[in-house]
Structure 1
């Protein structure tokens, strides 16, 4: 997806920042990109691709500042929505560090903490669940990452294997280096038949109540977390399907396209999931945009009664379709159709 000229201009300013203060100012100028996107009705998925590029450029630039300075012995990776081109303004940043065998891990983690402190000033906050390179779990030598990948794919129930596999499947290098972690994860996970069924089971698990009936109450019963209810399920199904069919795509819609028509995902189901993802992303962005632009805190929860009737109807359809595909995949998994 080609980036708008205004986004390219902001990325160039960020990349040319001479120090952390200049970087903060350059990232701040990205606000106009968001304002223009909202004014001109730019699709939320295109805004997400633009914002993800801005965030990755800022992370790469921030690694050049602080103590110690970034070097060729530390490779920075991002994961999650920022890596998948699906981050919206205000999204968390998940980071992973790969170091060579001669680099002191404590030094690398101190560097990561310094970088994330700069990013916090840019309003690019670190992952609230702690998936950041300043923690030992996410700062490893290449040898240690390879050993971890082997362990997580052969015993996915242990050591949060499914979570780590998901992070690595989405990983993307932002400093010099190839996407070696994602490639190694893909190679290993297809060699071990234990990991993919567990990833599918995790993708089909319902973790949050979703008031898909959309009844309007006077109290708080019509509050829902749109990310947990409609974004994450599609992202996880797409990741599992892509890994299963050998796709190396990162964007959710591309993963669904690559898996479409395979034994893992019916073509019609893939199309429906793409549409559901696009609808949910648009509604989610319109819900959070005003707060982000006003530098106010925002939550993922939205009140259904505050939505226009059209959006409530769309969400009703999204919920019905996602839950139906979940049930279908669960049934197919129970019949060993994906073996």
Structure 2
């Protein structure tokens, strides 16, 4: 169960009445998240909480803009190290992207606006098959109508496969560059997105997509990817807490337990991707 301070902020987020309050909620979300991680709360549960707070406060009256969150926030997977991505829906009103980007950057988030267009224009782009991952991660508004090429989604996932783990006495080579987001999180997100969509699921979160993908993925593959995802969230959260998430890191820089966790997760992920590739592509 989340600490009352977290639930109180979550309750306040959609009620923000002015821009200063929106800024305050965003800033406090990072402070409270840090405290929660220090007290050992579940990074996966906290990712869902942070995603909801960001979504609700950006939809509040205090921002006075129509935005649709996608990417990690839209999926409910966001960590403080995740980019905040959104579609601005505009008719006659002013494009809000510059204002929102400045706000998020000031507070400490990574802002990645995708663009500004009318609702009809966004829907037309989704129907045209333009960047389907954006629309699948943006919720039921466009996820249900997006034209999706499952083969292209699969190929995108396979192309993100982490590099082979160089080992020494069973552990990753100390000189190997480690990037939790690029090597573990992004490939897992992509393979879960493909498998869930192929199974007919429009679930938003990576964890639920993996649950729904049983049948497209084997039980062992789902279990392995779930383990990788949980480990990656924990490792990336620790790096944020240590203020080194944006630094290039080698295995030498990781504590021994984190190094072993990364190595085991990278191997599991690579094995699953090889298995899926053999089944879905090599046999066709």
TM-score, normalising length: structure 1: 0.75
SS in 2 for 1:126: strand
Residues 3 and 98 of structure 1: is their aligned pair in 2 closer, same or farther, counting only changes over 3 Å? farther
Q: Confirm or deny that 1:122 pairs with 2:107.
A: yes
Match of 1:316 in 2: 263
Match of 1:167 in 2: 134
Alpha-carbon separation, structure 2, partners of 1:23 and 1:148: 30
Match of 1:145 in 2: 122
Alpha-carbon separation, structure 2, partners of 1:38 and 1:278: 14
Q: 1:279 aligns with which of 215, 220, 231?
A: 231
Match of 1:97 in 2: 88
Q: Confirm or deny that 1:183 pairs with 2:131.
A: no
Alpha-carbon separation, structure 1, partners of 2:184 and 2:268: 10
Q: How many residues align?
A: 280
Alpha-carbon separation, structure 1, partners of 2:71 and 2:44: 15
1:44 shift after superposition = 1.3
SS in 2 for 1:94: strand
When Rg is computed on C-alpha atoms for both structures, the one with the higher figure is 1
SS in 1 for 2:87: strand
Match of 1:156 in 2: none
Q: Confirm or deny that 1:235 pairs with 2:234.
A: no
Confirm or deny: 8 A CA contact 1:212 1:320 kept in the other structure: no
1:16 shift after superposition = 3.6
1:35 shift after superposition = 3.2
Gaps of 5+ in 2: none
Gaps of 5+ in 1: 153-160, 173-178, 190-194, 292-296
Confirm or deny: 8 A CA contact 2:239 2:245 kept in the other structure: no
Match of 1:85 in 2: 76
**Which deviations, in whole Å up to 9, do the C-alpha atoms of 1:16-47 show, x marking residues without a partner?**
43322233223322344223312221121122
In the TM superposition, what are the counterparts of 1:12-91 in structure 2 within 5 Å? 12-61=11-60, 64-65=62-63, 69-70=64-65, 75-91=66-82
Confirm or deny: 8 A CA contact 1:225 1:301 kept in the other structure: yes
Alpha-carbon separation, structure 1, partners of 2:42 and 2:7: 18
In the TM superposition, what are the counterparts of 1:211-290 in structure 2 within 5 Å? 211-213=165-167, 214-216=172-174, 221-260=175-214, 262=215, 264-290=216-242
CA RMSD of aligned residues (A): 2.3
Confirm or deny: 8 A CA contact 1:97 1:140 kept in the other structure: yes
Confirm or deny: 8 A CA contact 1:222 1:303 kept in the other structure: yes
Confirm or deny: 8 A CA contact 1:52 1:83 kept in the other structure: yes
Alpha-carbon separation, structure 1, partners of 2:282 and 2:132: 25
**Which deviations, in whole Å up to 9, do the C-alpha atoms of 1:208-236 show, x marking residues without a partner?**
645452112xxxx3222111111111100
